[in-house]
Amino acid sequence: MIGSPPNYSDNTVCPKCHTQVPLETVEVRTFFKCPHCCSLIRVRPSYLAAQTLISQCVGFCISYSIGLRWAWFVLLGVVFGILVGVFYTLLVKYLVPPRLEVYYPKSTRDTTVTTLDLNQK
Ligand SMILES: [Zn+2]
């Protein structure tokens, strides 16, 4: 947000330089660069998996609570789950800050960021 001070959490610490990363900088669904050391980091995959599971459960609860059953229950449950997931992604990092880990691209296709990190193995 423009004009507001950055939010920090003890959880969002860069695994390489051990400085806190502002929550506004944290990208939940993809990797990003640490604003201090420029290492590629990401949110732990277990955090993303839990977030997806919770979003889908909420989506199916909404689908059930409005009286849908069988095929419509499943179909709209998935749709509601995706919609809940979009809003959840925007808010959850402030409510439950994720832990971060170093991101190692599987191939050069996975990243558009060029780094020259001579210490990386
Ligand atoms: Zn760093």
CA-to-CA dists, residue 2 to 6, 65, 103, angstroms? 10, 38, 28
Domains plus CATH for the chain? 1-44+98-113 (2.20.28), 49-95 (no CATH)
Tokens, residue 9: 């959490």
- Those residues whose beta carbon sits under 5 angstroms from the ion ligand 1 are 14, 16-17, 34, 36-37, 39
Quickly list DSSP for 12-77.
Answer: -B-TTT--BPPTTT--SSS-EE-TTT--EEEE-HHHHHHHHHHHHHHHHHHHHHTT--HHHHHHHH
Residue-wise pLDDT for 32-79, tens only, equals 999 999 999 999 999 989 988 999 999 999 999 998 888 899 899 999
pTM score, whole prediction: 0.70
Q: Average model confidence (pLDDT) for the chain?
A: 85
> What is the distance in A from the centroid of ligand 1 to the CA of 22?
11
Percent above pLDDT 90 for the chain? 47
